[in-house]
Amino acid sequence: MKKRSILHMLDPMPNNSPFDINMAMDAGFDVLMPYSNVKLDSVYGLTQDAIFSRGPSGVKLTGIFIGGRDLALAMDMLTTCQQAMVPPFEVSVFADPSGAFTTAAALVACVEKELKTKHGKELKDCTALVFGGTGPVGLATGIIASLAGADTALVDHLSINTAQDVANAYNRRFSSTLKAAVASNDAEKAKVCANVDIIFCAAKAGIQVLNATVLKSATQLKVAGDVNAVPPMGIEGIKRNDRGVPLIHAINAPNAVGVGALAVGNVKYQLQHEMLKLMLTTDKPLYLDFRQAFDKARELV
């Protein structure tokens, strides 16, 4: 009997994401097996249970997806999966905690595209701020932008120490060069925005982070990207479907353009779909995280 494709979905949270389950089914997996409340010390055994039960031909139709909300834990789980493999019993593993890796990859790729098209600049030529930078999407965005060469700072709305601790931890882990900043009011936001080229907004949905008054101070701004699709938008003046549309409130940076949440979301959706499909079509096992997601996102935009 022909073997069916199976995706084992490991999640340290109480519930697996319905979004990820829908995406995996639409990508072509026949059977989805969600596991909730998964501890790191359980991952090795779960992985070996998955690889030894199907034979060398069956493992080609078997994959592991890692969810949750903690980026460091997701990467630890991916590493543990890889350590548990015993070739030729080896399956593909894809980590995308809280959708942060694919969302961040799509955001940075969309902003990079507008930066090149509208301004003839590369990420390595630019300074960038990430508002909401200590949350999952913001942190992944900062890491990707930093590794791509941008001089990037994570902005926390309460504490410079929180932002600095997070930046230090992930710089050690990924050899990024993240910096830290704090901006809890409009005056502080205007100060940190004054001389940056790129603004990424990955704060909580429904919260306006940058208003028109703050944007007036962004005299060097070239591209701003916002992943908030819930009104009010994270950056005033950016509409959800904007992709390279002039940023009307950045009056002292007349060539600045914005990228909206649905424009990013469309790329994120395509990206996650393509990454999941890769697991079904590859001839050799893949270990996928934000780095491979960003490479693929650049292709898609």
Average pLDDT over residues 106-120: 98
In a domain, 206, yes or no: yes
In the predicted structure, residue 56 carries a pLDDT above the cut 90: no
* CATH number for the domain that contains residue 185: 3.40.50.720
- Same domain for 141 and 162, yes or no, is yes
User: Are 175 and 85 in a shared domain?
Assistant: no
Q: What CATH number does the domain containing 49 carry?
A: 3.40.50.10280
**Cβ-based neighbour number of residue 77 at 10 Å:** 29
31 pairs with which residues across the strands? Answer: 6
Which stretches within 28-156 are classed as H helix? 40-52, 55-59, 71-84, 100-119, 136-147
- For residue 247, count other CB atoms closer than 10 A to its CB: 25
Q: Which tokens belong to 184?
A: 């809890």
For residues 253 and 120, state if they share a domain: yes
- Placement of tokens 């030729």 in the chain: 88
Of 40-49, 57-66, 209-218, 259-268, least confident by mean pLDDT is: 57-66
Tokens of 178: 């993240």
Both 248 and 212 in one domain: the answer is yes
The two counts, helices (H) then strands (E), for the chain are: 11, 12
How many Cβ atoms from other residues are within 10 Å of residue 154's Cβ?
30
Instruction: Say how many domains are in the chain.
Output: 2
1 in a domain, yes or no? no
34/138 same-domain check? no
Shared domain check, 36 and 72 = yes
Answer whether residue 182 is part of any domain.
yes
Q: Tens digits of per-residue pLDDT, 71-104?
A: 999 999 999 999 999 999 999 999 999 999 999 9
Q: Please, are residues 24 and 273 in contact by the beta-carbon 8 Å criterion?
A: no
Nearest to 221 by CA among 195, 240, 201: 195
Do 219 and 90 share a structural domain?
Answer: no
One-letter identity of residue 59: V
Q: What are phi and psi of 14, to 5 degrees?
A: -65, -25
Please check whether residues 174 and 89 belong to one and the same domain. Answer: no
Instruction: Say what the pLDDT of residue 55 is.
Output: 79
Strands of the sheet with 127-131, listed across from one edge:
179-182, 151-156, 127-131, 198-201, 223-226, 257-259, 243-246
DSSP assignments along 53-74, one per residue: TSHHHHHTTEEEEE-SS-HHHH
Q: Are residues 70 and 109 in the same domain?
A: no
Whole-prediction pTM:
0.96
Q: pLDDT tens for residues 41-55? A: 999 999 999 999 887
Does residue 1 surpass a pLDDT of 70? no
Residue 279 has pLDDT above 70, yes or no: yes
The arithmetic mean of pLDDT across residues 155-183, rounded, is 96
Is residue 206 located within the same domain as residue 119? yes
Same domain, 79 and 174: no
Q: Are residues 76 and 126 in the same domain?
A: no
Query: Residue 276 — pLDDT band, cuts 50, 70, 90?
Result: very high
Assess whether pLDDT exceeds 80 at residue 69.
Answer: yes
- Give the Cα separation of 210 and 128 in Å (integer): 15
Contacts of 41 (CB under 8 A, 6+ apart): none
State both tokens at 181: 């900043």
**Residue 251 belongs to what domain range?**
103-263
- For residue 125, what is the DSSP state? G
Bridging pattern class, strands 257-259 and 243-246: antiparallel
Q: Which amino acid is at 126?
A: C
